[in-house]
């Protein structure tokens, strides 16, 4: 990341870091695609229980899904206020986004513990294996994002996020929204399909 | 210093984002509604046509939500060209890979 | 200890010397040299592993090594050559040449570039450290489950392999993003995509393959590691899992990987042949589009590695079809290369010899590959030495010969001197003869039924003679590389001074001094075609004005990449000790990674700290 005393020259008119980050998100599509593809390929093939319908709770999933969705909106608002140079509002929305992520992760942890008490573990059967690894990696991504957002919050509080630095927040936003859309897919392919059938 | 390069675009107003998130919330609420056990039993008895298409409906609605977040929240609406390609192509490839993996594992085919 | 950023005063200080300056370098040229030297050392390590195997197989009932050691040798030979020799040799060229060829002054993310190298360095150290622990990887370079799973291999050998590959994969992925942004976004004004040199195009395709294919193997190996460490069931049939899923995920990566291995060499050959034929590349657009097609189609052929696993006729036919299709763009390239040299004023300098060798040898490898595309034939050939012959023809006869062409071609640029032509020709012919002596007979051995990965064979098999020949060939190859090393090192002091453009080249790297200054170009040359230097030399195109651009920015050196690289290595490497000793190494690595990342983000001269102005 070279410093810009003057605007960096770009052949495509897109900042390097933004283009680089979209490319990285492309690779993440392949990463989660493999995880989701494995989950769906193995769906229904667990030889022993507990099975998805023994464990899933629609209430918990509803809360965590709405929370993550809302946090995407909070992120958009945070970027908006960074662009306006409104430090306090930006900080508040950044914290709200991180908070939404934390609540989501909290509910995931709660869900994992509930499933464990119902007899589902990583090694118990094929369903436990695929479910925990898929949602676990997603949760790890959310956690990384929370760390990122909290760092931005601290930097903003120290006055280090003027509107000239808005691209840094935009890129964090790209990551956060991506983590949200992966959940949209997991939510439908893992949970909704199970409830619907 | 950020560089928006040759594309000078005004950022959309907050009201647009409020509209998007409201729509997404409604869609999500609908998705959950149609899998609640009571509701499920109802349309299985009274609207069998809908019961038959409930899975595609869920998948399509999810795709719509996916697209809305990418297009509006992630600004792909404004960022034409290369970002769309470096994200869109892997997305398509990943989707294809998921389908082929499922096919190779015996899904979609009746035995 | 990072020096402040600086814009160049008129009389500049020479780039610093000393070990620390190399450890903290973010200069793409130095990073290229680091990759090149490391890769060549590892190439020799892989070569020694091969020589020991050839000694063991020289005659029947060999007693040079045990079966156990032999397993480790073929595993590490393959793993080393693919991930620690060919790929980083390619990376050496990407690093040194790409910015020069597109008229840029560095890559898009210089510190990320350094990080890629250090992660590669630590990863190579990690996986080879397994020898010191007595448990080198020994389940084959692809480590199929269930052999590689928890019941198939109880020692840490496979853990070293899995984690080593994950570390190396991280390095490749970061470089992938870096070069994609560099190539797309840092081209000099006037250099449209279709005016880029073919080597740059092939590199772009390769980086997309890396970015798309590596995540698949990352997940596949995570599954295997979790099965081994945490008792998950991804590849456990008793729980409903499928070992074949491992093969699918491995080859979904593995097939694009072989195109990652060959396309850079194809790019080099596409630069060398026109230069030494004094003719432009015939059908350059077709060569470019074929490269793109190969990359894209490469994702659709993977199960041709699995024809003998009982996929069923529909899958077999589908993949057979796609595999045959991919021969088309490959053949297009070969015809275009032949058309390039046809009727040209040929100069048989060493780079040209290797490039021609590539065309010839790769074609042979392609022909045997085409045979494997037919499932019925592959049923006979799979897991025999016929396959070994095929992939050595394309990877050695192809990639390695192509990479040598690149070394001889660009040696003048990065050292300022020419290599000795007679020694170069000697190296080429000895290598070519030794190579064919070693691998051509393997077609016979494979057709005669000799399986792969056996540590010895009985005298009555009738395989003794050709094995003997192959071993002699292997030693010829080995000795030939000594000629190369001698030439490389003596030419650095005694070679003829090269000047900026010793080969009468057409592309931008020849428009600056040899070696280039730290900032690559005094002024970035104007570009209005795919052969900008020819335009200037022969068609009266305007040259860059004399003097140097103002305000050239040189990113300061940084010690954060090596620190972050160490952290990443510890996170992965430490996973192996989790069941026995807990996650402490990984945890320590995570904190080092975190601390390093924060240091990186806030390093002065790189964005968050105010710049010093002169």
Nearest to A15 among B3, B24, B28 (CB): B3
Which residue on chain A is closest to C5 by alpha carbon?
Answer: A3
- Domain assignments of chain B as residue spans, ordered by start: 12-74, 79-106
Mean pLDDT, residues C50-56: 98
Nearest to A34 among C189, C215, C232 (CB): C215
CA distance C191 to C493: 36
Asked if the Cβ–Cβ distance from C248 to B93 is below 8 Å, we say no
Asked if the Cβ–Cβ distance from A33 to B69 is below 8 Å, we say no
| pLDDT at residue A3 in the model | 43
Q: Are A21 and A171 in contact (CB under 8 A)?
A: yes
Instruction: Name C384's bridge partners.
Output: C451
Share of chain C above pLDDT 70, in %: 96
Q: Which of A178-192, C336-350, C491-505, C600-614 has the lowest mean pLDDT?
A: C600-614
Asked if the Cβ–Cβ distance from A19 to B83 is below 8 Å, we say yes
Which residue on chain A is closest to B108 by alpha carbon?
Answer: A41
Asked if the Cβ–Cβ distance from A24 to C240 is below 8 Å, we say no
Q: Does residue A155 surpass a pLDDT of 80?
A: yes
B90 shares contact with chain C (CB less than 8 Å): yes
Residue range(s) defining the domain that contains residue A191: 16-196
Confidence band (pLDDT; 50, 70, 90) for C372? very high
The closest of C15, C94, C19 to C517, measured between CA atoms, is C15
Mean pLDDT, residues B58-86: 92
A177 domain-assigned: yes
**What backbone torsions phi and psi does residue C554 show, to the nearest 5 degrees?**
-110, 120
CA distance C419 to A159: 57
Asked if the Cβ–Cβ distance from A27 to C222 is below 8 Å, we say no
The closest of B75, B85, B82 to A169, measured between CA atoms, is B75
Q: Which of B72-86, C195-209, C403-417 has the lowest mean pLDDT?
A: B72-86
Q: How high does pLDDT run on average in chain C?
A: 94
Q: Does residue B110 surpass a pLDDT of 90?
A: no
Residue-wise pLDDT for C200-239, tens only, equals 999 999 999 999 999 999 999 999 999 999 999 999 999 9
B107 shares contact with chain A (CB less than 8 Å): yes
Q: Residue C289: which H helix or E strand, with range?
A: helix C284-297
C248 shares contact with chain B (CB less than 8 Å): yes
Confidence band (pLDDT; 50, 70, 90) for A185? very high
Question: Shortest Cα distance from C215 to chain A (angstroms)?
Answer: 5
The closest of C603, C570, C613 to C112, measured between CA atoms, is C603
* Tokens found for residue C593: 């990674």
Which of B84, B97, B109 has the most C C-beta neighbours within 10 Å, making it the best mutation to test the interface with C? Answer: B97
The closest of C499, C518, C354, C523 to C413, measured between CA atoms, is C499
A6 domain-assigned: no
Q: How high does pLDDT run on average in chain B?
A: 87
Asked if the Cβ–Cβ distance from B97 to C216 is below 8 Å, we say yes
Q: Does residue A127 surpass a pLDDT of 70?
A: yes
Q: For tokens 């740059």, what's the residue?
A: C200
B contacts of A19 (beta carbons < 8 Å) = 82-83, 86
| pLDDT at residue C13 in the model | 45
| pLDDT at residue A7 in the model | 65
Which of A11, A45, A168 has the most C C-beta neighbours within 10 Å, making it the best mutation to test the interface with C? Answer: A11
Q: Are C198 and C167 in contact (CB under 8 A)?
A: no
**Which three-class secondary structure state does DSSP give residue C404?**
helix
C209 shares contact with chain B (CB less than 8 Å): no
Q: Supply the CATH number for residue A46's domain.
A: 1.20.120.80
Mean pLDDT, residues C437-447: 98
Question: Residue C526 has what DSSP assignment?
Answer: P
C contacts of A1 (beta carbons < 8 Å) = 109, 111-112, 606-607
CA distance C178 to A27: 13
| pLDDT at residue C359 in the model | 98
| pLDDT at residue C12 in the model | 42
Q: Are C197 and C530 in contact (CB under 8 A)?
A: yes
Question: Residue C451 has what DSSP assignment?
Answer: B
Size of chain A in residues: 197
Q: Are C593 and C569 in contact (CB under 8 A)?
A: no
Q: Are A111 and A60 in contact (CB under 8 A)?
A: yes
Nearest to B6 among A13, A40, A164 (CB): A13
Nearest to A47 among C176, C219, C240 (CB): C240
Chains with 3+ CB–CB pairs under 8 A to A are: B, C
B95 shares contact with chain C (CB less than 8 Å): no
* Tokens found for residue C226: 């979790």
| pLDDT at residue A4 in the model | 45
A5 domain-assigned: no
Q: What's the number of domains chain A is made of?
A: 1
The closest of C47, C71, C31, C38 to C400, measured between CA atoms, is C47
Chains with 3+ CB–CB pairs under 8 A to C are: A, B
Q: Residue C172: which H helix or E strand, with range?
A: helix C157-185
C contacts of B5 (beta carbons < 8 Å) = none
Mean pLDDT, residues C123-138: 97
Q: Are A74 and A196 in contact (CB under 8 A)?
A: no
Mean pLDDT, residues C549-572: 93
Question: Shortest Cα distance from B98 to chain C (angstroms)?
Answer: 11
Residue-wise pLDDT for C68-112, tens only, equals 999 999 999 999 999 999 999 999 999 999 999 999 999 999 999
CA distance C366 to A188: 45
Residue C42 CB partners (closer than 8 Å, separation 6+):
C80, C84, C85, C88, C124
Residue-wise pLDDT for A66-85, tens only, equals 999 999 999 999 999 999 99
Which of residues C503 and C6 earns the better pLDDT score?
C503
C317 shares contact with chain B (CB less than 8 Å): no
Which residue on chain A is closest to C4 by alpha carbon?
Answer: A3
Q: Does residue C545 surpass a pLDDT of 90?
A: no
Q: Does residue C8 surpass a pLDDT of 80?
A: no
Chains with 3+ CB–CB pairs under 8 A to B are: A, C
Tell me the CB-side half-sphere exposure of residue C593, using CA atoms within 13 A.
15
Confidence band (pLDDT; 50, 70, 90) for B103? very high
Which of C181, C192, C212 has the most B C-beta neighbours within 10 Å, making it the best mutation to test the interface with B? Answer: C212
**Which three-class secondary structure state does DSSP give residue C384?**
strand
Confidence band (pLDDT; 50, 70, 90) for B11? confident
Residue C244 CA, chain-centre distance (Å), reads 27
Instruction: Name C30's bridge partners.
Output: none
C245 shares contact with chain B (CB less than 8 Å): yes
Interchain CB contacts (distance < 8 Å): A and B: 154
Q: Are C28 and C107 in contact (CB under 8 A)?
A: yes
Q: Are B78 and A11 in contact (CB under 8 A)?
A: no
Which of A1, A10, A37 has the most B C-beta neighbours within 10 Å, making it the best mutation to test the interface with B? Answer: A37
Q: Does residue C601 surpass a pLDDT of 80?
A: yes
Interchain CB contacts (distance < 8 Å): A and C: 131
Q: Are C139 and C124 in contact (CB under 8 A)?
A: no
A42 shares contact with chain C (CB less than 8 Å): yes
Q: How many CB atoms lie within 10 A of CB C479?
A: 12
**Alpha helices for chain A (secondary structure H):** 16-41, 52-55, 58-84, 87-117, 126-157, 166-186, 193-196
Residue A59 CB partners (closer than 8 Å, separation 6+):
none
A154 domain-assigned: yes
Which of residues B111 and C259 earns the better pLDDT score?
C259
CA distance C87 to C258: 10
Asked if the Cβ–Cβ distance from C177 to A27 is below 8 Å, we say yes
Which residue on chain A is closest to C225 by alpha carbon?
Answer: A133
Which residue on chain B is closest to A76 by alpha carbon?
Answer: B73
Instruction: Name C7's bridge partners.
Output: C553
């Amino acid at each position: 990341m070279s410093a810009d005393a003057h605007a960096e020259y770009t052949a495509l008119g897109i900042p390097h870091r933004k283009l680089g980050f979209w490319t990285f998100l492309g690779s993440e599509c392949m990463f989660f695609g493999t995880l989701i593809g494995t989950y769906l390929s193995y769906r229904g093939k667990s030889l022993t229980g507990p099975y998805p319908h023994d464990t899933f709770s629609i209430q918990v999933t509803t809360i965590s899904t709405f929370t993550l969705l809302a946090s995407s909106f909070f992120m958009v608002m945070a970027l908006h206020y960074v662009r306006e140079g409104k430090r306090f509002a930006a900080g508040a929305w950044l914290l709200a986004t991180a908070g939404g992520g934390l609540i989501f992760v909290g509910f995931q942890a709660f869900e994992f513990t509930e499933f464990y008490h119902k007899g589902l573990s990583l090694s118990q059967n094929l369903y436990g294996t695929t479910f925990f690894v898929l949602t676990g990696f997603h949760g790890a991504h959310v956690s990384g994002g929370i760390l990122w957002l909290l760092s931005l919050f601290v930097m903003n509080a120290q006055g280090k996020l003027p509107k000239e630095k808005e691209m840094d927040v935009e890129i964090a936003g790209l990551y956060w929204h991506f983590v949200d859309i992966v959940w949209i897919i997991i939510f439908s392919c893992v949970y909704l399909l199970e409830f619907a059938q | 210093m950020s560089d928006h390069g040759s594309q000078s675009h005004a950022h959309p107003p907050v009201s647009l984002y409020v509209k998007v998130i409201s729509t997404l919330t409604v869609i999500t609420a609908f998705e959950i509604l149609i899998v609640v056990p009571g509701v499920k039993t109802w349309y299985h008895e009274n609207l069998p046509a809908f019961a038959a298409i409930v899975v595609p409906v869920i998948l399509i609605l999810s795709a719509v939500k996916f697209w809305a977040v990418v297009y509006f929240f992630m600004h792909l609406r404004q960022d034409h060209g290369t970002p769309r390609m470096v994200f869109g192509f892997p997305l398509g490839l990943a989707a294809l890979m998921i389908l082929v993996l499922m096919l190779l594992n015996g899904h979609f085919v009746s035995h | 200890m990072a020096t402040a950023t600086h814009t160049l005063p008129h009389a500049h200080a020479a780039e610093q010397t000393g070990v620390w300056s190399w450890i903290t370098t973010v200069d793409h040229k130095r990073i290229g040299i680091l990759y090149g030297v490391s890769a060549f050392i590892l190439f020799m390590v892989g070569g020694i592993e091969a020589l020991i195997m050839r000694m063991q197989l020289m005659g029947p009932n060999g007693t040079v090594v045990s079966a156990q050691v032999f397993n480790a040798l073929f595993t590490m030979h393959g793993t080393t050559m693919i991930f620690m020799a060919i790929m980083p040799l390619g990376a050496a060229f990407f690093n040194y040449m790409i910015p020069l060829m597109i008229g840029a002054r560095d890559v898009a993310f210089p510190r990320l570039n350094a990080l890629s190298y250090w992660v590669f360095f630590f990863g190579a150290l990690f996986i080879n450290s397994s020898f010191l622990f007595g448990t080198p990887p020994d389940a084959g370079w692809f480590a199929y489950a269930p052999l590689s799973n928890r019941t198939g291999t109880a020692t840490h050998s496979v853990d070293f392999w899995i984690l080593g590959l994950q570390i190396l994969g991280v390095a490749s992925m970061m470089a992938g993003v870096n070069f994609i942004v560099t190539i797309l976004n840092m081209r000099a004004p006037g250099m449209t995509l279709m005016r880029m040199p073919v080597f740059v195009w092939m590199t772009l395709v390769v980086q997309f393959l890396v970015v798309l294919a590596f995540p698949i193997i990352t997940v596949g190996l995570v599954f295997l590691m979790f099965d081994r460490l945490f008792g998950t069931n991804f590849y456990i049939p008793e729980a409903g899992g499928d070992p074949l899923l491992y093969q699918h995920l491995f080859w979904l990566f593995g097939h694009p990987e072989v195109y990652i291995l060959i396309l850079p060499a194809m790019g080099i050959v596409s630069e060398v042949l026109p230069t030494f034929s004094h003719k432009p590349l015939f059908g350059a657009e077709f060569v470019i589009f074929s490269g793109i097609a190969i990359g894209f189609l490469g994702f659709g052929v993977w199960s041709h590695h699995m024809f003998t696993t009982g996929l069923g006729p529909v899958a077999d036919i589908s993949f057979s079809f796609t595999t045959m299709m991919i021969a088309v763009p490959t053949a297009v390239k070969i015809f275009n290369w032949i058309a390039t040299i046809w009727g040209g004023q040929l100069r048989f300098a060493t780079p040209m010899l290797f490039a021609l060798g590539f065309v010839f040898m790769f074609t042979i490898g392609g022909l045997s590959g085409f045979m494997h595309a037919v499932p019925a034939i592959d049923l006979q050939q799979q897991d025999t030495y016929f396959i070994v012959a095929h992939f050595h023809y394309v990877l050695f006869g192809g990639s390695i010969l192509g990479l040598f062409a690149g070394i001889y071609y660009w040696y003048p640029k990065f050292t300022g001197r020419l290599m000795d032509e007679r020694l170069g020709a000697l190296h080429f012919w000895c290598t070519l003869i030794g190579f064919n002596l070693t691998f051509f007979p393997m077609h016979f051995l494979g057709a005669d039924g000799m399986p792969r990965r056996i540590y010895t064979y009985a005298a009555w098999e009738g395989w003794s003679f050709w094995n003997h020949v192959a071993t002699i060939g292997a030693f010829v190859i080995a000795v030939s590389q000594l000629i190369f090393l001698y030439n490389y090192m003596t030419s650095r002091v005694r070679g003829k001074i090269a000047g900026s453009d010793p080969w009468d080249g057409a592309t931008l790297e020849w428009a600056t001094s040899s070696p280039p200054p730290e900032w690559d170009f005094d002024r970035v040359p104007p570009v209005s075609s795919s052969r900008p230097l020819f335009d200037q030399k022969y068609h009266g195109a305007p040259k860059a004005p004399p003097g140097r651009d103002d305000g050239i920015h040189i990113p300061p050196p940084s010690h954060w990449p090596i620190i972050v690289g160490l952290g990443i290595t510890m996170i992965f490497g430490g996973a192996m000790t989790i069941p026995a000793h807990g996650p402490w190494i990984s945890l320590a690595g995570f904190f080092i990674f975190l601390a390093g990342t924060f240091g990186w983000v806030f390093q002065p001269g790189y964005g968050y700290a105010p710049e010093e102005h002169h």
